[in-house]
Each structure stands twice: as C-alpha cells, then as structure tokens.
Amino acid sequence: MALNGRLRSGRPAHHFLFILGIAAIFSVSDIVTANLSISADLLRRQQTTRHRSESILSALADGNALSLITPSSSSPQSRSRVYNVMDYGADPTGIADSTEAFKQALSDACGSPEDRRLMSEITDLGGSELNLGGGSYLISSPLTLPSNPVGNIKIHGGSLRASNDFPCEHYMIELGFNSSKSTHSRYNFEFVTLSGLMIDANYRGGGIVVINSLRTTINNCYIIHFTSDGIFIHSGHETLITNSFIGQHITAGAHPLEKQFTGTGIRLTGNDNIVTDVVIFSAAIGILVAGQANILTGVHCYNKAAAFGGTGIYLKLSGLTQTRIVNCYLDYTNIVSEDPVQLYVSGSFFFGDANVVLKSVKGVMKGVNIVDNMFSGLGGEGVDIVRLDESGEAFTAVDQVMVERNMVDNMRVRSTVAKASVQGNGTTWTVDFKPVLLFPNRIDHVQYALLNTGSEFPKHALRSVLDNMVVIESNVQVEATVYVHVEQRWK
C-alpha cells in the first residue's frame, strides 16, 4: 500500500497508476483484436500504440521512466536522436504504403541539433538513427536524404519492398541521386551507414545508389529482385560494402532461368572502395569495376555461369586498372579485365572452368600479377586458367606481367614462367613451351644447363626461341640432358 503518496518500493504512487493504465490499454487492445474486424489503418495505429506502451513498461521495469511520465526540462538538443519509423505511422506489416512516414522520419533525423561539421559544408548529425524496428515496409518512391550535405547518420533494422508502381529508373535508397546539382560541397554525404536491411526492388529498379559520398558503409544487407544494380557506387571516396548478399533472383545455384539473368550485383565507378565478404548469387555481372584503387576480398560470385554469358568480376578500366582481387571465389564464372594495368589477383579459388580473361582494347598490359591461386576444372579438353582475348587487336605493349605459382586441376596451365628438360644423344635439343607459356612467340629470358653424361666437353649454345620453342645446339654429338628455364614477364 502507499504511504505518504509513495509505494513501499519508494517510487511515487502515480507510477503504479500509470502501469495500471498501460495494462488496461493492452487488455482493451487484445479484446478489440479478438472480436472486431478492423481496418488496416486502425490495425497499424493499434500496433504503434502497443509498441510505445511496451517501451514505456520496459523503461518502468528498469526504473528509468520518470522522464516519460513527468514534464522534462531538458533542451531539444539533449533528446534521443533515434527515430522509429513506426512512430510516424509506417506500417510494419507491409500492407499499407509507408513512403510518407519514412519521408517525415528522415526529415526529422536529418535535422541538425548543433552547428557541427564533418568535411567542409557537411552537417554533422551527431549519430542520428532511423530505426525500422524489424518491420517490413512497402514504399512507392525512393528513400532519400536531403539535398544539403549531411553526415553521421545510420539507417538500419528492417525490410523495404518496392510497390508495383515504384519508378523503374530509380533505386530503393538513393544517396545523392538528385543532390549533386544542388550542393557546393565536394561531397554530398559523409559517414552514412546502411545496416541490417533487406531490400526487395520487386523487379522495379535498383537497390542502393551512393553518389559522390565519403566514407559510406553498407553492411549486413540482403538485396534482391533488382533490374539494374543491386548497389551502385558512383564517384565519391571510400565506400565499404561488407557482409552482404546480393541477387536478382533468390537461388542457391542451378536456377532454371539462369541464362536470362540480367543486371549487375555491384557497380563501382568510383575510387578507393572496399568490397569484403560479399556473396553475389544471381546477376549477369557480379561486380563491375570502372574506378581505380578498389579492393575486392572474400567475394563469392556464382551469379551467372561464364558458359551462359555471365561474368563474375568485370574490370572495365582500360589502361589504369589499379585493382586488387584477393581471397575470392569465382564459381563457374570468370574475371575479365580490359587492358589491365596494375592488376593483382591472388589467393583465390576458381571452380568449374572459371578463369581469368585478359582482354585487349588498345593492346596494353602492364604490371599484372596473377599468382598463388587454385583452379579446378570440369575436365574434357580443358580451359586455360588465364586466357588472352585478342579478338580486337593483339597485346603489343606488355611489361611486368607475372602469371605463376598457381595450382591447377583439370584445366590447362598458363604461365609467364616455365621450366622443362629434354634428354637425347645428338647435337640439337628442342624444348617446346607453347602448351604452357601465356604469350605466343615471346620469350624474354632463357637459362639453361647441359648435363653431359659422357667424358666429352662439348661447346654448346642457345640457337633459337622462335614460336616459344627453345633450341640448344652442341658442336659434337653427345649423350646429354638439357634443363631450360624461360620467362616472358618483362618488356
């Protein structure tokens, strides 16, 4: 019982009355749900009320809810910067359109509490959060941040699905899609985090687009049913895409419509981005790179088999690739690089005849390392682990290319370094390196040793390297073994 207006626990008596009131709300809510056929709007309002009531009860149980039931003298700047979209009327069941609720919630979340800055002209939102509360929401237009540059904001914790009238030329989440013309800042946004989101484009457009933004993170996302790109990064600097799953169709492989897959899982047309621990399970192209100094690591591509016209990783950067591909898994799909310059591929696994294709556009290949990978083929005639595509024109400017130390099973080894031996009794020894060397009719360096098993001391010399065939001749006939090491990595 209460004593002097307080409970035995020491808390004010009106706490007890408030709890009774919340409990009454729950009881009435349950009765209405059980006995009435209610509209979707009323159901949404009831769910929102219940959500708020549960939050208050939880806070009361922890003894931290005095500010919820008594007037607060704190300034607006000291209030929470976490905005729950359900508090704005968003429907977590995905039945009603929640676009307007999201727009209002984003508008409030992007209001700056203080005059702080990140990069020049970019407003620091102080860690503002848009919380989806685990709901699944229907939207009919893209979610966008304001055109004025802002940063330090997070959108997380739920699912988004495009409505049947979502504009097909747009993306579900657009960072900077229309803002680049309206800002004088070098970047549109900085330190924006998209996390824990499932994005279903409903075959109406793309998933996420980030334009001219700085230090953006896309983490733990599941992006499906896009027609253009799952993720599109254009310009800007240092976007991190991590721990995510991307696919046009939901499949775990061998999809009956695989030949018809379209779209691109991730499109990078900016610099200095990082893609780590990402699975792309359906799309015509897994990752398209058209910017410099990007790194891909821990990526698994089984988006569309090369035999069906698919490409796992396409490097469309003729003349200045500057891309590192490390510890990735190319599953029945390949890597294609146009005029590669500074390309590094290492520690990766190529399965199902997956390989690396070096495509000539202007005949340039410089600073290419394809080393320490595993290749596993399907057998048959065998596929080259590294193939030159010179259908347009031949590679003529070649320098510092190293393809070696790769482990190969049921595929044809191709290398820029090779060694072999030949034994015979005569004056000529010929070693044919055509089945192994990557470039035709090109040997830049030869080392050889002639082991004479008899008592003679013959004179011998290297006579020819034409057509990747090494010819050694001696002045007298001898029984000997010739050991040859060749390289074609340098200009």
| The residue type at 439 | F
The two structure tokens encoding residue 229: 């790109």
| The residue type at 437 | L
Q: How far is Cα 207 from Cα 221, in angstroms, rounded to an integer? A: 10
| The residue type at 315 | L
Tell me which DSSP letter residue 322 carries.
-
> H helices then E strands: how many in the chain?
4, 34
> 10 Å Cβ neighbour count for 130?
23
The two structure tokens encoding residue 13: 């008596």
> What is the model's pTM?
0.84
On the question of pLDDT at 99 being above 70, the answer is yes
Across residues 383-407, what is the average pLDDT?
96
On the question of pLDDT at 71 being above 50, the answer is no
Q: How far is Cα 318 from Cα 332, in angstroms, rounded to an integer? A: 25
Percentage of the chain beyond pLDDT 90 is 75
Q: How confident is the model at residue 13 (pLDDT cuts 50, 70, 90)?
A: very low
On the question of pLDDT at 29 being above 50, the answer is no
Across residues 281-300, what is the average pLDDT?
97
Nearest Cα to 211, choosing from 197, 226, 192, 196? 192
Q: How far is Cα 221 from Cα 172, in angstroms, rounded to an integer? A: 13
| The residue type at 132 | L
On the question of pLDDT at 91 being above 70, the answer is yes
Across residues 96-125, what is the average pLDDT?
91
pLDDT per residue as tens digits for the range 168-222 = 999 999 998 664 444 455 899 999 999 999 999 999 999 999 999 999 999 999 9
Q: How far is Cα 287 from Cα 334, in angstroms, rounded to an integer? A: 11
| Calculated CA dihedral for residues 310, 316, 319, 324, nearest 10 degrees | -80
Q: How far is Cα 284 from Cα 325, in angstroms, rounded to an integer? A: 19
**pLDDT score at 66:** 42
**pLDDT score at 245:** 98
120 by DSSP, 3-state: which? coil
Q: How far is Cα 373 from Cα 327, in angstroms, rounded to an integer? A: 9
Nearest Cα to 299, choosing from 281, 275, 316, 320? 275
- Are residues 385 and 416 in contact, defined by beta-carbon separation less than 8 angstroms? no
Q: How confident is the model at residue 34 (pLDDT cuts 50, 70, 90)?
A: very low
The two structure tokens encoding residue 351: 């399965």
Residues β-bridged to residue 130: 83, 155
Our measurement of the distance from residue 451's CA atom to the centroid of its chain's CA atoms, rounded to an integer in Å, reads 54
**pLDDT score at 53:** 59
Nearest Cα to 442, choosing from 365, 384, 349, 338? 365
On the question of pLDDT at 73 being above 70, the answer is no
User: How many residues can be counted in the chain?
Assistant: 491
Q: How far is Cα 405 from Cα 247, in angstroms, rounded to an integer? A: 33
On the question of pLDDT at 82 being above 60, the answer is yes
On the question of pLDDT at 68 being above 60, the answer is no
Across residues 123-131, what is the average pLDDT?
95
What integer best gives the mean pLDDT of the chain? 87
Q: How far is Cα 220 from Cα 137, in angstroms, rounded to an integer? A: 18
Across residues 78-90, what is the average pLDDT?
91
On the question of pLDDT at 376 being above 60, the answer is yes
Top pLDDT among 147 and 247 is at: 247
On the question of pLDDT at 24 being above 50, the answer is no
On the question of pLDDT at 25 being above 80, the answer is no
**pLDDT score at 6:** 41
Q: How confident is the model at residue 380 (pLDDT cuts 50, 70, 90)?
A: confident
Across residues 112-131, what is the average pLDDT?
89
Vertex 206 angle, CA 292 and 202, to 5°: 155
Tell me which DSSP letter residue 92 carries.
T
Q: How far is Cα 198 from Cα 183, in angstroms, rounded to an integer? A: 30
Top pLDDT among 69 and 263 is at: 263
**Those residues with Cβ within 8 angstroms of residue 488's Cβ, 6 or more apart along the chain or in another chain:** 401, 416, 417, 437, 438, 439, 442, 443, 444, 445
On the question of pLDDT at 4 being above 50, the answer is no
List the end-to-end C-alpha distance of the chain, in Å, as a whole number: 93
Look at strands 460-464 and 407-409 and give their pairing: unpaired
On the question of pLDDT at 114 being above 90, the answer is no
On the question of pLDDT at 121 being above 60, the answer is yes
What does the buried/exposed string (b/e) look like for 329-367 if buried means 16 or more CB atoms within 10 Å of the residue's CB? bbbbbbbbbbbbbbbbbbebbbbbbbbbbbbbeeebbbe
Q: How far is Cα 126 from Cα 152, in angstroms, rounded to an integer? A: 6
Determine if residue 22 is left, alpha or beta; phi over 0 gives left, psi from -120 to 50 gives alpha, anything else beta: alpha
pLDDT per residue as tens digits for the range 323-372 = 999 999 999 999 999 999 999 999 999 999 999 999 999 999 999 999 99
Show the beta-strand stretches assigned E in 46-96: 82-84
Query: Residue 50 phi/psi, 5° resolution?
Result: -65, -40
On the question of pLDDT at 74 being above 80, the answer is no
